[in-house]
Amino acid sequence: MEENNSFENIKREAQKIEITPPQRSWYKLQRRLKKAESAGRRKTFNLNFIVSIAAIGLVLIASIAVLNIETRNMQNLPKGKIVEWETLDSEDVFFMDKGQIKGLYAAYAQQADPI
- Give pLDDT tens digits along the chain (115 positions): 566 678 888 888 888 887 777 888 888 888 888 887 776 665 556 788 889 999 999 999 999 999 888 887 776 666 666 666 666 666 655 666 777 778 878 887 887 665 5
CA dist., res. 46 & res. 53, Å (int): 10
CA dist., res. 55 & res. 44, Å (int): 17
CA dist., res. 65 & res. 62, Å (int): 5
Dihedral sign from CA coordinates of 97, 100, 104, 109? positive
What's the pTM? 0.34
